[in-house]
Structure 1
Amino acid sequence: MTVQNSATDIDTFVSEWEAWHQRRDSALAHEHGILAITGLHWLATDPQRFPDAPGSWSTGDDGVTVVLGEGEELVVDGTAVRGRHVFGVIPERGGVNAVWGDAVIEVARRGGQDLIRPRHPEHPPRTAFTGTPAYAPDRRWAVTGTYTPFPEPRPTTVGAVVEGLRHVYDAPGRVRFPLGGRTLGLTAFNGSTPGSLMVLFSDATSGVTTYPANRALHVDPPGPDGTVVLDFNRATNLPCAYTDFATCPLPPAENRLPIAIEAGEKIPHERI
């Protein structure tokens, strides 16, 4: 990456970061975003009712089932359902959103277990949200590295913020990059768009100025020679930084960086 130092280039870098940061906060403040989650309810074979969702919920060989009482209704894929409704088997890290009035009931599967997470727009963490603190953008934290794919993707098991839960991801390769006078490395997972990568990491700021458990960084697809740009100014919090009702993965042990990455999002105001 060629680093430009003109005033115009720096202004562009800062303005693009500010627009990105605003988009992040806008997504967090969405009426059914993570700040609207009111509970994390693990499902069992015996039906259970929860205070923030309609019906009795259970899971079994046929997947997730809800039995709605008289006067209760959900809207699933645009269709109103009453009585007994079978959501079926939810894929790992998949989910379905069922609408209940102005709320949404997320039906999901994490770590091999089914759950529901109601999302209510009036939940205080959402209505009181004023934005996520972050380090001021600085070009020295945007570094060029090299991505080396593994011969075969490596199934990688990591812990979670929920005690006893485990996540398994396929790691397609590893990124190495210079920073702080040394060469560092991060195991990469597949990103949210084709060819992109995602790294989970912690560093010497974790638990001091940044969230203790983890942060994430999106990496655009590598170039033909494996070149990648890691812009730590865009290191983000995971949902667990904002709510106790999350199941976020922890970084692999090798992704705990020995230096302070003083860039990206900090500990949310609500957690300080």
Structure 2
Amino acid sequence: MSVRDTSAPDPEVFAKEWEAWHRDKDARLASEHGFLAITGLHWLSAEPQSFPGAPGTWSTGPEGVAVELGEGEELLVGGEAVRGRHLFGVIPERGGVDAVWGDTVIEVAKRGGNDVIRPRHPGHPLRVAFSGTPAYEPDPRWVVTGRYEAFDVPRPTTVGASVEGLQHVYDAPGRVVFRLNERELSLTAFNGHAPGSLTLLFTDATSGVTTYAANRNLTVGAPGPDGTVVLDFNRATNLPCAYTDFATCPLPPAENRLPVAVEAGERIPHERGPVA
């Protein structure tokens, strides 16, 4: 492997910082009502339906998502108790509202233009049995410097999803160009959660071999004044679909399939079988 070093941090400090980051990432994944607690992914229609792990009957229409609770049933929405019929209203794309039912949180959301509910129960076996995510040993050689190139205008980019037939549309503000294995490569970037940050969805030559086949994600901090960015592939993470079939994760755009092996970051979860 020939990866360009951007610095020479103390290996012990580097490893400890990575281990703390990885423990925190796994703790959030396996939190009481995190993704590993999801017990089902239920698609709503105009016809009221009941679903396992949720009270009442659920439907959607021009006014948005509604639930009709039975006698004695109650949800907490925004800290307020609701009974009978409750209208959640129109949920924005990639938005969501949480409704609490005992020790279960019911996520009411819109994904790919479809209204869904996902009950999250802390006793779900997937969460209870979680023992952490396998990963490559952290190595400073996988920290590289790149440059961010903004597009003239953000480009609407349609990508597939981990759920067959579902699509997501994101505005791509630019791309990140960098070098790995003596090759200049680039990844289309989407906006990250933190202001100014970027998220890079990608696959590479390890995908389906030692890393999850569908996707991995790398978060990059806000570019410097000259467009400089730092890519730490040791922090390439699995998305929730790597652990559960109840996630609707986006797939990388076609141009983000790297022709090199990125032997860094998270590997195939135990939940998907043995790691090579």
**TM-score normalized by structure 1?**
0.98
Correspondence for 2:112: 111
CA–CA separation in structure 2 for the residues paired with 1:174 and 1:88 = 36
The equivalences for 1:38-187 within 5 A come to 38-187=39-188
How far is 1:128 from its partner? 0.5
| Aligned-partner residue type, residue 70 of structure 1 | E
Which digits, 9 at most, give the CA deviation of each residue in 1:136-166, with x for residues without a partner?
0011111000100000000000001111111
SS of equivalent to 2:93 = coil
Correspondence for 1:200: 201
How far is 1:12 from its partner? 1.4
CA–CA separation in structure 2 for the residues paired with 1:30 and 1:152 = 38
Which digits, 9 at most, give the CA deviation of each residue in 1:46-105, with x for residues without a partner?
000012110100000000000000111100000010000000000000000100000100
CA–CA separation in structure 2 for the residues paired with 1:173 and 1:2 = 22
SS of equivalent to 2:13 = helix
| Aligned-partner residue type, residue 250 of structure 1 | L
| Aligned-partner residue type, residue 41 of structure 1 | H
Correspondence for 1:269: 270
CA–CA separation in structure 2 for the residues paired with 1:47 and 1:149 = 46
Q: Any stretches of 5+ residues in structure 2 without a counterpart?
A: none
CA–CA separation in structure 1 for the residues paired with 2:241 and 2:202 = 14
CA RMSD of aligned residues (A): 0.8
CA–CA separation in structure 2 for the residues paired with 1:165 and 1:219 = 26
Check the 8 A contact 2:6/2:143 in 1, yes or no: no
SS of equivalent to 1:48 = coil
SS of equivalent to 1:49 = coil
CA gap of 1:156–1:165, structure 2 versus 1, over 3 A, is: same
CA–CA separation in structure 1 for the residues paired with 2:162 and 2:47 = 26
CA–CA separation in structure 2 for the residues paired with 1:79 and 1:192 = 28
CA–CA separation in structure 1 for the residues paired with 2:202 and 2:254 = 9
CA–CA separation in structure 2 for the residues paired with 1:263 and 1:174 = 21
CA–CA separation in structure 2 for the residues paired with 1:4 and 1:247 = 38
2:7 corresponds to 1:3: yes
How far is 1:174 from its partner? 0.5
Which digits, 9 at most, give the CA deviation of each residue in 1:90-136, with x for residues without a partner?
00000001000001000000000000000011000000100000000
CA–CA separation in structure 2 for the residues paired with 1:214 and 1:24 = 17
CA–CA separation in structure 1 for the residues paired with 2:38 and 2:77 = 19
CA–CA separation in structure 2 for the residues paired with 1:132 and 1:10 = 22
| Aligned-partner residue type, residue 61 of structure 2 | G
| Residue-pair matches, total | 269
Correspondence for 1:246: 247
SS of equivalent to 2:24 = helix
| Aligned-partner residue type, residue 14 of structure 1 | A
CA–CA separation in structure 2 for the residues paired with 1:178 and 1:51 = 49
CA–CA separation in structure 2 for the residues paired with 1:54 and 1:2 = 54
Shift >3 Å, 4+ stretches: none
SS of equivalent to 1:15 = helix
SS of equivalent to 1:267 = coil
| Aligned-partner residue type, residue 224 of structure 2 | G
Check the 8 A contact 2:6/2:145 in 1, yes or no: no
CA–CA separation in structure 2 for the residues paired with 1:38 and 1:248 = 16
How far is 1:2 from its partner? 4.0
2:217 corresponds to 1:216: yes
**TM-score normalized by structure 2?**
0.96
CA–CA separation in structure 1 for the residues paired with 2:174 and 2:6 = 25
